[in-house]
């Protein structure tokens, strides 16, 4: 498979956040004989984690993705830890009927943000709190009921604590569903197959789990209802998450795959950009191809940044 990939000429890109958002995305675009993928592991990730990202990046362009069972996927708007008025505007402008609201640990700000998002969505929208391992057990157990009231009902809280045992303890003490980021548990505890004890929902991310097929096997093993999410990525990267959401037998939740809208641009043409206009995104047999002008626009000017990514890809590719 490695012989089929052009690692030497892979373009590097760096896209900052759109106004009102907090996270950008940087990485490389990987071309295979059947299409493109995105290699964008977090800068501080270990080699084993980065290898999974690279495996995911080359899957679609080599062996392809499994055939989907649905053509479109409902998505949630990503709401960063911003002021309540900005959170309301982001939600209202998205066209989505679900929102992933990032929690900051600042109780007053989090409560105001959740109330604003509920106001924008109305009573029938779904709100999920994204904690990212923010709390210990006692803090989480105290905070979640308060946040649930402010949101007018939370669909779930994702990763309130970092460790599986702590998630299980919180789950026993609150009435709100607890969702576990499977990739985060895989990194911290190889015994993530005990997930049903720790969570009500499994959160799957294609990049850190090593691709659509590997994530699908995790879903089958977990025995839990699943939701597909992703950190900010370009449309090329986000297409893999949509492929997974398209192939899951059941999809009870809107997926956290709307983060392209939070970037200041994309590496594909505007017509191919995966920004939901009506709360839905299409499942495609392959990722969209990059647009040369957009890639040139977002190629870093910093020579060291370019060199860092080329060294990173070269080192990780040797581990495949």
Reported as a single tens digit per residue, the pLDDT across 188-238 is 554 456 788 899 999 999 999 999 999 999 999 888 999 999 999 999 999
Mean per-residue pLDDT over the chain, rounded: 94
Task: Name residues whose C-beta falls within 8 Å of residue 174's C-beta, 6 or more positions apart in sequence.
Answer: 140, 141, 144, 145
Give the pTM. Answer: 0.94
Residue range 134-162: average pLDDT? 97
Reported as a single tens digit per residue, the pLDDT across 81-105 is 999 999 999 999 999 999 999 999 9
Task: Name residues whose C-beta falls within 8 Å of residue 301's C-beta, 6 or more positions apart in sequence.
Answer: none
pLDDT at site 190? 47
Per DSSP, helices labelled H in the chain are: 47-62, 84-94, 107-121, 137-150, 164-173, 182-188, 195-198, 206-209, 212-222, 235-247, 292-297, 303-317
Asked if pLDDT for residue 187 goes beyond 90, the answer is no
Residue range 125-134: average pLDDT? 97
């Amino acid at each position: 498979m490695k012989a089929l990939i052009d690692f030497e000429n892979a373009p590097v890109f760096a896209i900052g956040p759109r106004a009102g958002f907090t996270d950008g995305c940087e990485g490389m675009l990987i071309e295979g004989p059947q299409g493109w993928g995105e290699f964008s592991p977090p800068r501080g990730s270990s080699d084993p984690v980065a290898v999974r990202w690279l495996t995911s990046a080359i899957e679609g362009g080599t062996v392809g993705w499994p055939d989907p069972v649905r053509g479109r996927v409902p998505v949630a708007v990503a709401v960063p830890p911003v002021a309540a008025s900005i959170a309301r505007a982001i939600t209202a402008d998205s066209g989505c009927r679900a929102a992933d609201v990032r929690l900051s640990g600042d109780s007053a700000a989090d409560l105001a943000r959740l109330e604003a998002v509920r106001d924008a969505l109305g009573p029938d929208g779904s709100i999920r709190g994204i904690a990212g391992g923010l709390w210990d057990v006692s803090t989480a157990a105290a905070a979640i009921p308060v946040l649930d009231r402010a949101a007018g009902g939370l669909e779930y809280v994702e990763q309130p604590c970092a460790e599986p045992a702590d998630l299980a303890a919180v789950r026993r003490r609150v009435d709100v569903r607890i969702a576990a980021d499977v990739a985060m548990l895989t990194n911290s505890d190889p015994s993530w197959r005990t997930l049903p004890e720790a969570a009500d929902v499994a959160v799957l991310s294609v990049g850190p789990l090593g691709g659509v097929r590997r994530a699908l096997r995790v879903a089958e093993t977990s025995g839990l209802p699943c939701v597909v999410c992703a950190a900010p990525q370009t449309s090329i990267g986000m297409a893999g998450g949509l492929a997974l959401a398209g192939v899951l037998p059941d999809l009870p939740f809107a997926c956290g795959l709307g983060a392209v809208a939070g970037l200041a641009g994309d590496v594909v043409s505007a017509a191919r950009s995966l920004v939901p206009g009506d709360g839905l995104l299409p499942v495609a047999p392959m990722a969209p191809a990059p647009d040369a002008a957009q890639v040139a626009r977002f190629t870093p000017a910093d020579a060291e940044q370019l060199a860092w990514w080329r060294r990173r890809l070269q080192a990780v590719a040797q581990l495949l």
